[in-house]
Structure 1
Amino acid sequence: MLLIEVLGSALLGLALSAAAVRLLATRLPAPGIVLVSGMLGALFGAYLTHTALGPGHNNLPAVFGGGVLVSAVVLSLLLRPAAGAGRSPQRAPFSLPSRG
């Protein structure tokens, strides 16, 4: 059962990250980084969910759901702002102006 959880979570994370690469290619880093991050996020989420449920609980949909949720969070951390977001380049708050 554990092997099914690992393989299923890895495939779900890979599918989610492939969809993100296809839909948001301009706002994400290199596709290889996105695919690996999504898959590792799903594996960590599945491990975390499996550990939280404890021994004796074979709840496959919950483990898959936890894996997909953590994978989505990891992928959302990779997103960059859109190019035409209307933000003017300003200096960071509390920064000193450079004199050179």
Structure 2
Amino acid sequence: MILEVLASAALGLVLAFAAAHRLPHRLPTRPLVFATAVAGALFGDFVTHSALGPAPVLLTLLGAAVVSAASLSLLLRPAGRLRRRSAPA
């Protein structure tokens, strides 16, 4: 069980590194990205393990990856400036 938690935390770090490397202009500071990804992976591992019980480790890691990616997606900022039209007078 300890190895499962460590593996999900490592998976969160890998996902955070990939996101920070691929989308640095759309994400906030790196410490926030890494903390969010690891926390999401640990929470995803906990929820998946609670729901499935003693399931194979790959299923719980899949749940950890899904929740970590979802939490990272909440940090994304829009790609460009938002164009706002002024109301016609």
Question: TM-score, with normalisation over the residues of structure 2?
Answer: 0.90
Q: Larger radius of gyration, structure 1 or 2? A: 1
Q: How does 1:18-29 map to 2 (within 5 A)?
A: 18-29=17-28
Provide the residue aligned with 2:84 in structure 1. 89
Residue 83 of structure 1: how far off its partner (Å):
2.0
Structure 1, unaligned runs of 5 or more: 92-100
Residue 40 of structure 1: how far off its partner (Å):
0.5
Q: CA RMSD in A?
A: 1.4
SS of the aligned residue for 1:71 comes to helix
SS of the aligned residue for 1:5 comes to helix
Residue-by-residue CA offset, 1:41-79 (whole Å, 9 max, x unaligned): 00000000000012xx24100010000000000000000
The yes-or-no answer on 1:62 pairing with 2:59 is: yes
> Following the alignment from structure 1 to structure 2, what is the Cα–Cα distance between the partners of residues 65 and 45?
9
SS of the aligned residue for 2:77 comes to coil
Which structure 1 residue ranges, 4+ long, deviate > 6 Å from structure 2? none
Aligned residues with identical type, % of pairs: 44
Residue 90 of structure 1: how far off its partner (Å):
4.9
Residue 4 of structure 1: how far off its partner (Å):
1.0
**Aligned residue pair count:** 86
Residue 88 of structure 1: how far off its partner (Å):
1.2
Question: TM-score, with normalisation over the residues of structure 1?
Answer: 0.81
> Following the alignment from structure 2 to structure 1, what is the Cα–Cα distance between the partners of residues 85 and 21?
31
